[in-house]
Amino acid sequence: MSIKQVGVVGAGVMGTGLAQSLAQARFDVILLDISDDILSRARGEIRKNLRLAKMLDPQAMPESVDSVLSRITCTTEAGGFGAVDFVIENVVEKWAVKEQVYHEIDPICPPHAVFAANTSAISITRIASATGRPSQVLGMHFMNPVPMKPMVEVIRGYHTSEQTLHTARELLTTMGKSCVVVQDMPGFVSNRVLMLTINEAVFLLQDQVASAEDVDTIFRSCFGHKMGPLETADLIGLDTILYSIEVLYESYNDSKYRPCPLLKKMVDAGLHGRKNGRGFYTYE
Ligand code: NAD
């Protein structure tokens, strides 16, 4: 299948990076979110990141910033998805919100369109059940920040067809990315491990075993990680971490996934990490 137009649902941390990467790979992008304010912030962010990318490596980005941006259309109306070939969904990590989105877009998108869920933990088979095209639904767990991360965790749901996986691989190749394909279980490979690690790091902080800086320094200096677990949590977003660990807790009914009360408290206090300037650290 030849992919020309890609629908991106959600213009937050992930949707913004995805829209940029897809437009740089010369796909036409329709970026959907619930308000014009969110969309105009996303467009501004993409413009800023493209300018920076061009300044740092002009050869890697021969096109002008405006030319890349001209391939991104922002909308608050799902009706704009009438001609998409591929959809990548990036709304908040809550089943009720995602389910509603799939119910809305399924009847609008062309029958051939593939749906990729960029979820952190929700079962792809469950997501597919909210559509009338389960064989054309898969998980594509992009890493953050999307334009800089070359690897994607691709998840095969119960009904995902070989053709769907093939189409997804083609899209990723055009974006200059590779993938590892895994089977569907909540959290997949990456977040079954990462979310537990981050949650336990927050327990360390809550138990006053060490400061955030010291926790992260141990992971960076002793294990050679580029970032410690609490810095990583700030990058992902503490709200997204909490929702993901809640999904894991509910999915496995296993107490090892119980969210740390300090994490809940920080999210309730509006400390969402880098995206709003305050998390375990503060940002400009
Ligand atoms: P975010 O909170 O930054 O953005 C979510 C966006 O979804 C918001 O802009 C919100 O307005 C929008 N949204 C909510 N309801 C909507 C609707 N009905 N229609 C259209 N848009 C709607 O979250 P994020 O970090 O971008 O995460 C998005 C998804 O990607 C989540 O499922 C998350 O688990 C997953 N994910 C996140 C990361 C990460 O590092 N942040 C990495 C991989 C996957």
Which amino acid residue places its CA nearest to atom 41 of ligand 1?
Answer: 236
| Matching residue, tokens 């410690």 | 228
Query: How does the average pLDDT of the chain come out, rounded?
Result: 97
- How far CA 27 is from CA of 93, 151, 230, in Å, comes to 26, 19, 35
Asked if pLDDT for residue 50 goes beyond 80, the answer is yes
Ligand 1 neighbourhood includes 234 CB (under 6 angstroms): no
Tokens of 28: 């036409």
Asked if pLDDT for residue 212 goes beyond 80, the answer is yes
Set out the domains of the chain in order of their start, with CATH numbers: 5-183 (3.40.50.720), 191-268 (1.10.1040.50)
Rounded CA gap, 278 and 283, in Å? 6
Ligand 1 neighbourhood includes 97 CB (under 6 angstroms): yes
Q: What is the mean pLDDT of residues 210-228?
A: 98
Asked if pLDDT for residue 1 goes beyond 80, the answer is no
Ligand 1 neighbourhood includes 269 CB (under 6 angstroms): no
Active-site positions? 120, 141, 153, 191
Tell me the per-residue pLDDT of 24-36, one tens digit each, with 9 for 90 and over: 999 999 999 999 9
Q: What is the DSSP letter of 22?
A: H
- How far CA 147 is from CA of 17, 246, 276, in Å, comes to 6, 28, 20
Residues in the chain: 284
| Cα-to-centroid distance, 13 and ligand 1 (Å) | 7
Rounded CA gap, 233 and 195, in Å? 9
Pocket of ligand 1, candidates 13, 77, 152: which has the most ligand atoms within 8 Å of its Cβ, to mutate? 13
| Cα-to-centroid distance, 94 and ligand 1 (Å) | 9
pLDDT band for position 226 (cuts 50, 70, 90)? very high
Q: What is the mean pLDDT of residues 176-186?
A: 98
Asked if pLDDT for residue 60 goes beyond 90, the answer is no
pLDDT band for position 269 (cuts 50, 70, 90)? very high
CB 154 within 8 A of CB 168: yes
Ligand 1 neighbourhood includes 34 CB (under 6 angstroms): yes
Which amino acid residue places its CA nearest to atom 4 of ligand 1?
Answer: 12
Asked if pLDDT for residue 145 goes beyond 80, the answer is yes
Rounded CA gap, 91 and 107, in Å? 18
| Cα-to-centroid distance, 53 and ligand 1 (Å) | 23
How many Cα atoms within 13 Å fall on the side-chain side of residue 144? 21
Which amino acid residue places its CA nearest to atom 35 of ligand 1?
Answer: 119
The reported pLDDT for the residue numbered 111 is 98
